[in-house]
Chains A and B, each alone.
Chain A
Amino acid sequence: NAGVTQTPKFQVLKTGQSMTLQCAQDMNHEYMSWYRQDPGMGLRLIHYSVGAGITDQGEVPNGYNVSRSTTEDFPLRLLSAAPSQTSVYFCASRGQGRNTEAFFGQGTRLTVV
């Protein structure tokens, strides 16, 4: 049982490049989320999903796309990277109910130059 797995762990992109951050969970959780974490800003929600085929925007969705074709996977796409997207990205998953804990991946440190 690996929990939530994110890849890659580190990435450097040039402005304008595209890439996909991968996230997979093996806990059969319906709910999955992407956050970015910047110094002094805490964790801010980018996108989330309540099940396969269903996604919704969070607090800071601009510049990011997501899709959820399976319960296990929730990739985050940067179509045209900008320096403002330099951050640490975390994927999380949880079960149903507002009394459930979230499980986080190890994070992806992304630098856009």
Chain B
Amino acid sequence: SQKIEQNSEALNIQEGKTATLTCNYTNYSPAYLQWYRQDPGRGPVFLLLIRENEKEKRKERLKVTFDTTLKQSLFHITASQPADSATYLCAFYNQGGKLIFGQGTELSVKP
């Protein structure tokens, strides 16, 4: 079955640095890949979607890449701020049309 792997270890970085989160997937080649942000006690909130024929997508300080050969997406936050601290989830619709998620990576940005 299709599987999404994200680094389960929390990522701790200093304010102003670039945070890079990794999403790897197996047994499927999604046409679209999505990233969500989840704050404690809240539901996930959609951030970005990237298509398989897009190498890179940007939105303000966010950048997502999609390497279909490596079966990997990278999520970057440049000039990170403490307000960026949250859990970030990678997701895509699997072969059956169901939205599946990685386990998420917790990001902590220290001032």
Q: List residues of chain A with CB under 8 Å of any chain B CB.
A: 4, 33, 35, 40-43, 45, 48, 50, 58-59, 90, 92, 94, 98-99, 101-107
Whether B51 pairs with A106 at a CB distance below 8 angstroms is no
Select A90's contact among B43, B46, B51, B92, beta carbons within 8 Å: B43
Select A104's contact among B31, B45, B51, B103, beta carbons within 8 Å: B45
> Does more than half of chain B's interface fall in helix, strand or loop, or is it mixed?
strand
Listed A/B pairs (13) with beta-carbon separation below 8 Å:
A4-B43, A40-B103, A42-B6, A42-B104, A43-B89, A50-B97, A92-B43, A98-B92, A98-B93, A98-B97, A99-B32, A102-B46, A104-B45
B101 contacts across to A, CB distance below 8 A: 35, 42-43
A98 contacts across to B, CB distance below 8 A: 30-32, 92-93, 97
Select B8's contact among A35, A40, A58, A94, beta carbons within 8 Å: A40
A43 to B103, CA, bound (A): 7
> Does more than half of chain A's interface fall in helix, strand or loop, or is it mixed?
strand
* Smallest CB gap from B46: residue in A: A101
Whether B44 pairs with A43 at a CB distance below 8 angstroms is yes
Select B98's contact among A33, A99, A105, beta carbons within 8 Å: A33
Whether A41 pairs with B103 at a CB distance below 8 angstroms is yes
Across the A-B interface, give the 6 residue pairs with the lowest CB-CB distance, nearest first. Answer: A104-B43, A42-B103, A101-B46, A43-B101, A98-B93, A99-B32
A90 contacts across to B, CB distance below 8 A: 43-44
Interface-central residue, B6, B8, B30, B43, by most chain A CB under 10 Å: B43
Q: How far is the CB of A34 from chain B (nearest CB, A)?
A: 11
A99 contacts across to B, CB distance below 8 A: 31-32, 49, 51
With A43-B89, A99-B51, A104-B45 already in contact, the answer to whether A94 and B99 are too (CB < 8 A) is yes
With A40-B103, A99-B32 already in contact, the answer to whether A104 and B97 are too (CB < 8 A) is no
Whether A48 pairs with B98 at a CB distance below 8 angstroms is yes
